[in-house]
Structure 1
Amino acid sequence: MDQDQLAPDLVDTGFVLPGSTQHQDIYAVIDLGSNSFHMLMVKVVGGSVQVIGRVKRKVRLASGLNDNLVLSKKAMTRGWECLALFAERLQDIPSNNIRIVGTATLRLAHNVKVFLTEAEKILGHRIEVISGEEEARLIYLGVAHTSSSDSNRLVIDIGGASTEMVIGHGFSPLHLASLHMGCVTYLDRYFSDGLLSEDNFNAAIAAAEAETIGVAALFLGTGWQLSVGASGTVQAMQEILVGQGMDEVITLTRLETIMQQSIACGQIDKLDIVGLAQERKQVFASGLSILIGLFRQLHIPGMTLSGGALREGILYGMLPQLQHTDVRNRTIASLMVRYYIDQQHANRVAEMALQLAHQLQDQWNLAKFEGLSMLRAGALLHELGLLIEYKNHHHHGAYIISHTELPGFTRAQQQLLMALVFNHRADIQRDIIAKQTMTSVLLAVRLTRLLRLAVILSMRRKHEALPEVQISAQAEVLLVALPKGWLEQHPLMRAELEQEVAYQQAAGWQLQVR
């Protein structure tokens, strides 16, 4: 970004050009879901999106849909009252930067025009009711734009009245399905008595399995290597697992254990499970039943939470300049610009780190869990905190990573990236490295050790000053060999490497330099 673009933000002149607006780079997306209404507001900053507002209201529109598919006045009123809150935030945003969509309940309701007429009057904008397949496509794009994957992935989003399933690769969905089951409709159908009984769960799970059978063969035939969930139900399950001291991977065994915990509570209004948020309790059992049915029919080995879904898919559709780019690289580039990282030096450290890693690949298998990609990201961002101050810049950088939305990185990857940046210099905090979920702690340790060496070997910040390094490993003992006489010619580097041997020894790691 050049200085001319920065100047108007830095100097308040009180003068605005005729016809200009300060909000051309602000976008808003509203999702009128069957369970909740959501509004997402973002600002485009440094080639990436920065969330500046999120509003969510439980409307449970689907609960107002009767057997004749007529939406009750009471449910519509709840929706209109919510939209009146949203309308205030839309007033200063250009119309072309706003998109509002309705999903399953509005697709089904015969009297949808009654709701839409009043809703559009309140918002001052048109509402688009999208098809189930379009919803699934947008959900997939939302996932693709907020998380990176080099393989086929299964994406599942359990809504209030429908469940969307997608298999895709990169930014391209391969198979789309929208099924008539949701956490609100299943609540009314199978848990209307408020009981968390085994019979109620079994009936809901059986219905979910029956609904899924029609598409299971196609999806299983295509196959996937990664499965992610993009709904509040999946988020609730993950929060429960973490709250109960487990990692974030959702499995069928764990879901069935959570179901037994629910049954032990007896009633929905007495539901009390460690890690379960209050706002999810009403539709928790129905969402859990659907998820168990999906796991059983699709033989899903494990699932994690995605970073985006429908709203993000709609948003990126309005931002052609950010479409079909490497999500992780876009995030890293944005952070480097925003925090004035020396890009030339960051790339130098990344090249050194990967050079070391490739020499150890046969011995340490650093490519698993996208280890090489994470090592590169840690190297590129290791000086993230320098903008704040030098002495503790590794701590500042780790804090920024922990408290920033990082599209392209899962929560587990974000945790690993934070640990790498925190430990790239000075004393090693092994307890931070140990807090890994999807990545093995051993891999995190190995990546940390290589990043630290790369930072030291690149300390002169000149490419021609980089030494020719040979590195090998005997189990977890690292052996670093430098050209003959090089250490004598570089006494400061020698002192730094001797100090690093002591740091790693204090952490319980053996490093030998010769």
Structure 2
Amino acid sequence: MNNINLITKATTLSQGDKYQVREIAAIDLGSNSFHMIVARIVNGSIQILSRLKQKVQLAKGLDQNGVLDQDAITRGVNCLALFAERLQGFQAENVNVVGTYTLRSAVNKAEFLRQAKAVFPYPIDIISGQREAKMIYAGVSHTQPESGRKLVIDIGGGSTEMIIGEDFDPILAESRNMGCVSFAKQFFPNGKISRENFQQARLTALSRIADLAASYRQLGWQYVLGSSGTIKTVHQVITATLDSDGIITAGRLDFLIERTLKATHFDNLKLAGLNEERADVFVPGLAILSAVFDTYQIEQMRYSDGALREGVMYSLDKNFQVKNIRQRTAEALAEQFNIDRIQAERVSKTAVQLAQQFIAWQANEFATEMQEILLWAALLHEVGIVINHKNMQKHSAYILSNMELPGFDKEQQRLLSTLVRLQINGFHLDDIAQFSRYTPQDILALVRLLRLAILLNRSRQATEQTDKIALKTHRTLWQLYFENSYLERNPLVQQDLKLEQRYLIEIGLDLAIE
């Protein structure tokens, strides 16, 4: 881990420009569902106020000649009327609405727009497949912590988008006409499931993206992320039936396919984690996803909360492009909760100083990630003080576990919340929940590092700074070494360390002070 970069992050909290509060809305008129996000921009970060989703299934109303039938138009217009009620008072420049595959394919899209205008006073931008792909990539990039090169896959109702990008910039973006609603209509008439129609759907998907395989593999990627409903549902089924990490692999897909093909109809498909409302699009979506895995030889994919609607939302303001998404999130929280930044900087510097000396990570592949989460925990451990100083650690944990934190996935958010909850007072080893990514030993080490960093700076402005604290660890025994007479000059620190020793002894751990 580059600790200089971590210290830089710690010392530059909220040093940028201030932003005025602005309410915005982003609407995605998808082939399966219409989505709306209403949010406000505060201190350079987005706070989600509400999310609305309506299953419209426009693609079901699109015939072979590209004509959208009146029933589908009516479903879409009724949904837009509902959205318009929520948007009363919004200026047009603060509302961004995009239409995707079905609307760009419909030869009578003008009729849809005419009827929509009667109930919905905001302009609708029907975007190309490539622009949709780039917006999806923006939504994923602005909400996920990974930096570097990413392959992003989005399986929608009418089309599938595949993008390779570096940080915030898409390099290669493609959209192909294959989606879970259109494939359900084409290959699974009346909801019937068979091995033959599943294989036909899968082979068709393979044929539509085969020409992309060489160029995508040549570019390569470090991470694979999937967004939107189909991949979210596959992630949820894997989480419920196979592994709590929810990671999608080729082997796990094969398992789900075999389980799925035991059913003969969408109505009798029962899988843990599968919402009944998505059964009709799950099977064709699974066929497309399987084809995508084969074409690009994907080893594993992680689900991303960010998607097209988030990309639409972030396009409303040019000030969001911060390379480290967690840093942007932390800056906004620091401003929102009026954190004592000087104290946060003291604690974070000590946490990094101690973490540099800890080398006994069990899951070494996550060491850098865990140390960065430790930094953000050190910076944000006092957010709960706005509620009450008493039980501040519980208030802080509640805030951090329930807020939307772009840049932190669910596991990282749980870890952040766990660390701040255990920052002071006694605790039990059972208080550390099970994680799919992090080991209990590593989480315990992070807890101990944060507790020591806070303890050594508890006197706040009266704290004597030192860069000569040495930490040595051996299993359950940790040894702290201070410069000569430091503890004599800081009797409150010495007293707090003795109390910490007692807390640790109660759970079978040792802390030696020299």
> What TM-score does the superposition give when structure 1 sets the normalisation length?
0.91
Provide the C-alpha distance between the structure 1 equivalents of 2:177 and 2:427, rounded to a whole number of angstroms. Answer: 52
Deviation at 1:131, TM superposition (A): 0.5
Contact 1:35 1:60 in 2 (8 A): yes
Equivalent positions of 1:263-274 (< 5 A) are: 263-274=261-272
Residue 379 of structure 1 is matched in structure 2 by 378
Residue 221 of structure 1 is matched in structure 2 by 218
Report the count of equivalent residues: 495
> What whole-Å deviation, never above 9, does each CA across 1:100-146 have from its counterpart, x for those lacking one?
11000111111111112211232122211100110011111111111
After superposition, the Cα gap between the structure-2 partners of 1:227 and 1:440, relative to the gap in structure 1 and judged at 3 Å, is: farther
Is it true that 1:37 corresponds to 2:34 in the alignment? yes
3-state secondary structure, aligned to 2:118: helix
Residue 506 of structure 2 is matched in structure 1 by 506
Residue 482 of structure 2 is matched in structure 1 by 482
Letter in 1 for 2:140: V
Provide the C-alpha distance between the structure 2 equivalents of 1:263 and 1:362, rounded to a whole number of angstroms. Answer: 46
Equivalent positions of 1:308-319 (< 5 A) are: 308-319=306-317
Contact 1:120 1:127 in 2 (8 A): no
Letter in 1 for 2:291: G
3-state secondary structure, aligned to 1:446: helix
Provide the C-alpha distance between the structure 2 equivalents of 1:296 and 1:234, rounded to a whole number of angstroms. Answer: 16
Equivalent positions of 1:435-446 (< 5 A) are: 435-446=434-445
Equivalent positions of 1:241-280 (< 5 A) are: 241-244=238-241, 246-280=244-278
3-state secondary structure, aligned to 2:290: helix
3-state secondary structure, aligned to 2:299: coil
Provide the C-alpha distance between the structure 2 equivalents of 1:311 and 1:296, rounded to a whole number of angstroms. Answer: 28
Residue 409 of structure 2 is matched in structure 1 by 410
Where structure 2 has 5 or more consecutive residues not aligned to the other structure, the ranges are 1-13
Is it true that 1:368 corresponds to 2:367 in the alignment? yes
Contact 1:190 1:204 in 2 (8 A): yes
Is it true that 1:234 corresponds to 2:231 in the alignment? yes
1:186 to 170, 183, 199: 183
Equivalent positions of 1:489-500 (< 5 A) are: 489-500=489-500
After superposition, the Cα gap between the structure-2 partners of 1:513 and 1:207, relative to the gap in structure 1 and judged at 3 Å, is: farther
Deviation at 1:277, TM superposition (A): 1.7
Residue 19 of structure 1 is matched in structure 2 by none
3-state secondary structure, aligned to 1:472: strand
After superposition, the Cα gap between the structure-2 partners of 1:126 and 1:426, relative to the gap in structure 1 and judged at 3 Å, is: same
Residue 330 of structure 2 is matched in structure 1 by 332
Residue 423 of structure 2 is matched in structure 1 by 424
Deviation at 1:205, TM superposition (A): 2.1
Contact 1:416 1:433 in 2 (8 A): no
> What whole-Å deviation, never above 9, does each CA across 1:36-74 have from its counterpart, x for those lacking one?
011111111232111112111111101111111111111
Letter in 2 for 1:346: A
After superposition, the Cα gap between the structure-2 partners of 1:357 and 1:191, relative to the gap in structure 1 and judged at 3 Å, is: same
After superposition, the Cα gap between the structure-2 partners of 1:218 and 1:430, relative to the gap in structure 1 and judged at 3 Å, is: farther
Residue 128 of structure 1 is matched in structure 2 by 125
- Is the deviation greater in 312-321 or in 432-441? 432-441
Provide the C-alpha distance between the structure 1 equivalents of 2:428 and 2:289, rounded to a whole number of angstroms. Answer: 38
Deviation at 1:212, TM superposition (A): 2.3
After superposition, the Cα gap between the structure-2 partners of 1:363 and 1:281, relative to the gap in structure 1 and judged at 3 Å, is: closer
Contact 1:339 1:387 in 2 (8 A): yes
> What whole-Å deviation, never above 9, does each CA across 1:237-287 have from its counterpart, x for those lacking one?
222233335222122222222222222333211121111122222211111
3-state secondary structure, aligned to 2:434: coil
Provide the C-alpha distance between the structure 2 equivalents of 1:123 and 1:24, rounded to a whole number of angstroms. Answer: 25
After superposition, the Cα gap between the structure-2 partners of 1:487 and 1:93, relative to the gap in structure 1 and judged at 3 Å, is: same
After superposition, the Cα gap between the structure-2 partners of 1:87 and 1:363, relative to the gap in structure 1 and judged at 3 Å, is: closer
Residue 17 of structure 1 is matched in structure 2 by none
Provide the C-alpha distance between the structure 1 equivalents of 2:94 and 2:413, rounded to a whole number of angstroms. Answer: 30
Provide the C-alpha distance between the structure 2 equivalents of 1:163 and 1:250, rounded to a whole number of angstroms. Answer: 17
Residue 18 of structure 1 is matched in structure 2 by none
Contact 2:168 2:323 in 1 (8 A): no
Contact 1:363 1:473 in 2 (8 A): no
Letter in 2 for 1:493: V
Where structure 1 has 5 or more consecutive residues not aligned to the other structure, the ranges are 7-22
- Is the deviation greater in 67-76 or in 152-161? 67-76
Deviation at 1:216, TM superposition (A): 1.7
Residue 8 of structure 2 is matched in structure 1 by none
- Is the deviation greater in 500-509 or in 95-104? 500-509
Provide the C-alpha distance between the structure 1 equivalents of 2:58 and 2:368, rounded to a whole number of angstroms. Answer: 41
2:351 to 346, 350, 353: 353
Contact 1:348 1:463 in 2 (8 A): no
- Is the deviation greater in 389-398 or in 488-497? 488-497
After superposition, the Cα gap between the structure-2 partners of 1:391 and 1:79, relative to the gap in structure 1 and judged at 3 Å, is: same
Letter in 2 for 1:506: E
3-state secondary structure, aligned to 1:480: strand
Provide the C-alpha distance between the structure 1 equivalents of 2:428 and 2:396, rounded to a whole number of angstroms. Answer: 15
Provide the C-alpha distance between the structure 2 equivalents of 1:381 and 1:295, rounded to a whole number of angstroms. Answer: 39
Provide the C-alpha distance between the structure 2 equivalents of 1:367 and 1:302, rounded to a whole number of angstroms. Answer: 17
Contact 2:164 2:216 in 1 (8 A): yes
3-state secondary structure, aligned to 2:192: coil
> What whole-Å deviation, never above 9, does each CA across 1:175-205 have from its counterpart, x for those lacking one?
1111111010111122214233222322222
Output the aligned Cα RMSD.
Answer: 2.3
After superposition, the Cα gap between the structure-2 partners of 1:366 and 1:499, relative to the gap in structure 1 and judged at 3 Å, is: farther
Letter in 2 for 1:92: G
Contact 1:361 1:367 in 2 (8 A): no
Contact 2:167 2:323 in 1 (8 A): no
Deviation at 1:360, TM superposition (A): 2.3
Deviation at 1:24, TM superposition (A): 7.6
Provide the C-alpha distance between the structure 1 equivalents of 2:396 and 2:125, rounded to a whole number of angstroms. Answer: 42
> What whole-Å deviation, never above 9, does each CA across 1:9-40 have from its counterpart, x for those lacking one?
xxxxxxxxxxxxxx982111111100001111
Provide the C-alpha distance between the structure 1 equivalents of 2:244 and 2:145, rounded to a whole number of angstroms. Answer: 24
Point out which structure has higher relative CO (alpha carbons under 8 A, 6+ apart): 2
Is it true that 1:148 corresponds to 2:145 in the alignment? yes
